[in-house]
Structure 1
């Protein structure tokens, strides 16, 4: 089938898939949008940096709640209507958040936006899968590629709106380093006023895109009706239940650690490079995050091509060793050397890019990942999105170097477990199952 015939035959499907891609691009953008603009949002709200960092886990906690709610909302609404509501809600809350100056209002907006995005994340996957059925693998891969694209575009856009930094003239603990804030008693004095802040414009931009996307889903819903959910045929196997649960737990922790490192890098890496001894600028922090997501996204294409010529296990071993090397460099030097900070983050981006998806592939070679198993894996992953950024924000103001220690330690543990997973599976199950596995169960075979 040539391109014109393909477009003509799949016009409706491609339109709906495109809407999901745009939604996921904005979802990825929101991951790094907040972290890259955190210092200017602090000025906008006239609060201490410690309080401003609490916006990060608040949004992550909203995503966790949204992930849980997504399991029930489908009982009442069709997928297109759910995507209409969540895109509209996420767009309005994301665009409105930086327009306010009161911390509690901004926090509430980002929390509600997180809930909508948690639901949107699950339904974008399931909707693309239901549209293309057995042909959905490549479309789902592209879907997660758009997440990485949004994650790298947002910092590039934000840095054009960041306020210039004023050199810090004191070395006392009461000065707020490079964010131009000085704490005296219960008051916060800043070199800029809240009216000087301009980072609300990127928030409005991505919020508007999500609102327009929601209108597309609404049009599609009334135009053609929602695609019915395809029936899932569960495939049973004769492996002992405890063995399957053990491997699923391992996969869940890999998901947990992978999502946690990505969330902390996207949300808190800019604050780390500014607040630590690196003394980098806010724009450098935005560039660092953009570079991380550029490498993370681009390497996926290299990995897919390489698997046609090299055994996947050897590529994964290479990636894990690269992650371990990057983790060591980050642990030892990233908090004090700008060069090693860049090198370690890039090495982690390459190492992390394919490992979670490959781990699911290894598990699927031995057992069937049912819908329940998949839900458990990604719920544990969502907890990683939430818990670890919340933990590390408590240290970012006074001891930001702990960020490098925390991230590198988690990355090293993840890489070690990914290395061990194929051998654990081979030991537990002895021989690979030859059955056709239920592809519907693994909705996010491509890692974010």
Structure 2
């Protein structure tokens, strides 16, 4: 028996849409990871220093946070149409970004891209959880696995076209951007077509709305929206406290993932080891490969009963902390130590994002409006880290480690707090009444048979 919290569409269509969410997250993550690959070439294209180009990421992150507010629109409109529009817009910003020439226009492009990306992060995660409810663990991990695939192939796709710092050759980075933009637009149009094949029906969250025939149509509609808003965003004060803590978990996961993939190439180049752009790119690939393997493993592992979101998050953040300590020890003295840290970092980073969303769903049904809170908080957090890193990494590349350690330590504390406070709010799993009745009948037959023999 399926949970009553699951979307009322067929299991086959849910599986199809989950595959679409994997592809959507693949393209979304591809859009995110390319920023780290592009910094050195953008310095040439826009004739601007590292710090000024890096501020584009700050603009994008602020816009990402604002874009999360699209959850209010997503909550009222069909998700298939919304995701179509968003991917078309993302594709256009990707195709234009290398032809703009002026830094302020680059900031505008990044702002639009970030605004839509915040909405895409929200819709892919919440949509997947909404379809599977308490059973969402493996499916959310699978969606994020799609993002891991993009993390590992992004450096490979961009590598032949990146000129690197100090090169006199003309940048050809426009080629992968054009291809990526075309893929995003094509996927968006395909998702729009699925609306005409079968319209998606979301799950309903119980609200206290009652029709009052004495009221006007618009007054009734306003009261209905308000009741849904209250029911979805504020299930109860104690649960809301847990949701806010989970929101911090999501924002931390977003921040350390984004900062690591955005700045790891610059970090390796600017360290005392003075690694080449190619080697730094391979290190990025090592993190991505470990992250890919970690998420692939979690797709099956998350089905086990003892694998809870709290345990997933705690173990993963301990691994991340260990990796950061290795970075601090080996960054300036030993390349092999850095490679080991890269692999451990990827393994730890893999499940944390999906685990944070799953942790929230464990307490109460996750909704688009709760997702707004999560992504908005994440966008704000990621918008401040470039301000720190852009102004300090030229002098001390290990600033990246210090920032990440702060967030990882905070996450470990949050996991422990959520474990202590949130145990009473974990929803019990649905009991299959069919199996219960069947077992009762079997028990009655056995009992009556035994009685007749006596």
TM-score range (shorter-chain normalised) is 0.7 to 0.9
User: Are positions 1:213 and 2:210 aligned together?
Assistant: no
Q: 1:4 corresponds to which residue?
A: none
How far the C-alpha of 1:108 sits from its partner, in A, is 1.8
Counterpart in the other structure of 2:36? 35
Correspondences of 1:40-59 after superposition (within 5 Å): 40-59=41-60
Q: 2:205 aligns with which of 232, 238, 263?
A: 232
CA distance in 2, matches of 1:13, 1:358: 20
Displacement of 1:311 in angstroms is 3.9
Structure 1 residues 128-207: aligned runs within 5 Å: 128=128, 138-163=138-163, 179-180=165-166, 191-192=167-168, 196-207=170-181
Partner residue, 1:441: none
Contact 2:144–2:354 (8 Å) recurs in 1: no
Determine if the alignment matches structure 1 residue 263 to structure 2 residue 258: yes
Q: Aligned-pair distance for 1:359?
A: 5.0
1:60 corresponds to which residue?
Answer: 61
Deviations 1:90-116, CA, capped at 9 Å, x for gaps: 001112101332222222222212222
Q: CA deviation at 1:203?
A: 1.2
* 2:273 is the counterpart of 1:297: no
Task: Quote the offset at 1:402 in angstroms.
Answer: 1.4
Task: Evaluate the alpha carbon distance shift between residue 309 and residue 402 of structure 1 in structure 2; reply closer, same or farther with a 3 A threshold.
Answer: same
Q: Which moved more, 1:145-154 or 1:315-324?
A: 315-324
Aligned residue for 2:104?
Answer: 104
For residues 243 and 18 of structure 1, do their structure 2 counterparts lie closer, same or farther at Cα, with a shift above 3 Å needed?
A: closer
The 2-side partners of 1:359 and 1:16 are apart by: 21
Change (3 A) 1:253 1:95: same
For residue 349 of structure 1, what is the aligned residue in structure 2? 346
Output the CA distance in 1 between the equivalents of 2:299 and 2:126. 23
Q: CA deviation at 1:87?
A: 0.8
> In structure 2, what is the equivalent of residue 397 of structure 1?
394
Q: CA deviation at 1:35?
A: 0.3
The match for 2:376 among 373, 376, 379 is 379
> Hey, what's the Cα distance between the residues in 1 that align with 2:110 and 2:331?
30
TM-score (norm 1): 0.76
**Which stretch of structure 1 is more off in the superposition, 95-104 or 207-216?**
95-104
Task: State how far apart, in whole Å, the 2-side matches of 1:159 and 1:92 are.
Answer: 22
Output aligned runs, 1:308-347, within 5 Å: 311-312=306-307, 318-347=315-344
Aligned-residue offset at 1:48: 1.2
Long gaps (5+) in structure 1: 1-8, 166-178, 181-190, 438-448
Q: 1:130 to 1:420 in 2, by over 3 A?
A: closer
Structure 1 pair 242/270, CA: closer, same or farther in 2 (3 Å)? same
Report how far residue 309 of structure 1 moved: 6.9
Whole-Å Cα distance in 1 between the matches of residues 42 and 241 of structure 2?
A: 43
What CA distance in whole angstroms lies between the structure 2 residues aligned with 1:210 and 1:49? 28
Per-residue deviation, residues 377-399 of structure 1 (Å, max 9, x unmatched): 33322322322234322223333
Instruction: Report the CA distance shift for 1:374/1:59 in structure 2 as closer, same or farther (over 3 A).
Output: closer
Q: Is the 8 A contact 2:95 2:182 kept in 1?
A: yes
How many residues are paired up? Answer: 396
SS of 2:161's partner is coil
- The structure richer in helix per residue is 2
Alignment partners' CA distance in 2, 1:26 and 1:51:
26
Provide the rounded CA distance (Å) in 2 between the counterparts of 1:133 and 1:242.
Answer: 21
* 1:186 counterpart residue number: none
Deviation at 1:369, TM superposition (A): 5.5
Q: Distance in 2 between matches of 1:20 and 1:359?
A: 18
| d(CA) in 1 for partners of 2:284, 2:370 | 32
Q: Which residue of 2 aligns with 1:175?
A: none
User: 1:248 and 2:243 equivalent?
Assistant: yes
Alignment partners' CA distance in 1, 2:317 and 2:411:
9
CA distance in 2, matches of 1:367, 1:220: 29
Q: Give me the whole-angstrom Cα distance separating, in 2, the residues matched to 1:396 and 1:424.
A: 38
Query: In 2, Cα distance between the equivalents of 1:291 and 1:271?
Result: 15
CA drift at 1:336: 5.0
Instruction: Kindly state the Cα deviation for residue 197 of structure 1 after the two structures are TM-superposed.
Output: 0.2
Q: Distance in 1 between the 2:253 and 2:126 partners?
A: 21
